[in-house]
Amino acid sequence: MSGYWAGILAILAINIIFAYGIFVTAAAGQLNLGGAGFMAIGAYAAAVLGEQLGWSPALTIPAAVTITGLIGIAIAFPVLRTRGVYMVLATFAFAQVVTGVILTQPVLGGAMGMVVPDYVDLPVLIGAAIATVVLVFFLMATRLGLAMRALHDDELVSTLMGVPARAVQVASFALGAGLAGLAGGLYAHHFSFVEAQYFSALLSIYVLLFVLIGGTQTAWGPLVGATFFTLVPELLRIGGSWRYVVFGVIIVAMMMFRPEGIVTRTLLARLFGRRRRVADAG
């Protein structure tokens, strides 16, 4: 495999993990525009622990997940008091605060960034992405996952039916933060360098688009969305600078004709129902 495509696959694996971090919160009816902030915390936590304490990735990456998860719990309580666009703005502000703190702290390298000592190869990233996909599919099949889906569909009715809305939302927010931290830790160790400019507002917007375009109704959505947004721009490179125009038109068209996302429960029901009928006929 060429180095170019190995790099693309590495970015794809990280994007899939990151997308599932945002999906987990979206599946419970929360739009999180602070994903870049949590990813930055995970990346810099892994970088600092590796550089200052000499920890290996086997320790720094789990530590990054734990740290971002705990921060996610702390942030969830004030953020979940808001609704709609105010929640989006609150999470966006959190990401901006994280970037500002990183830029002003010399121990974190400031605007110059940090060199990460240990390297994590592509197979580790692919394995982590596969494990994340399996974990989220399993999660959505549990009682917690069913409660998240119920809150996504109708929070008021779910609460009246006895679903502990606040506990479920805090849990999903913390788990989503942890997955974003995992993506950040893997990014830091694979590319061996982190800088605050990478974790910009555009990154938060892109990963949210991964989830919204892919679909928030099923766990297939982030996988499809992250793959689409990562690979299609590369395949469109043959068109030169026009690829941005073509890609933008594709996104607008998808939002017009598939506002609920590429993968929906109805689509899966049709596909699997059709296969079942064919199997029964055979």
pLDDT above 80: residue 275: no
Residue 110 is predicted with a pLDDT of 86
pLDDT above 90: residue 190: yes
On whether residue 176 sits in a domain, the answer given is yes
On whether residue 275 sits in a domain, the answer given is no
pLDDT above 50: residue 278: no
Cα–Cα distance list, 266 to 31, 44, 78, 94 (Å) = 22, 41, 35, 35
Separation between Cα atoms, residue 83 and residue 156, nearest integer Å: 13
Residue 160 is predicted with a pLDDT of 84
On whether residue 44 sits in a domain, the answer given is yes
On whether residue 263 sits in a domain, the answer given is no
More confident residue, 253 or 47: 47
On whether residue 255 sits in a domain, the answer given is no
Mean per-residue pLDDT of the chain: 88
When divided into structural domains, the chain yields a total of 1
- pTM for this entry: 0.90
On whether residue 246 sits in a domain, the answer given is no
Tens digit of each residue's pLDDT (9 = 90 or more) over 24-73:
999 888 888 999 999 999 999 999 999 988 899 999 999 999 999 999 99
Separation between Cα atoms, residue 39 and residue 244, nearest integer Å: 26
The secondary structure of residue 116, as a DSSP letter, is: -
On whether residue 231 sits in a domain, the answer given is no
On whether residue 123 sits in a domain, the answer given is yes
Q: Which domain holds residue 55?
A: 3-200
H helix runs in 105-218, sequence order: 122-141, 143-153, 155-160, 165-191, 201-214
Rounded average pLDDT over 93-98? 93
Residue 82 is predicted with a pLDDT of 84
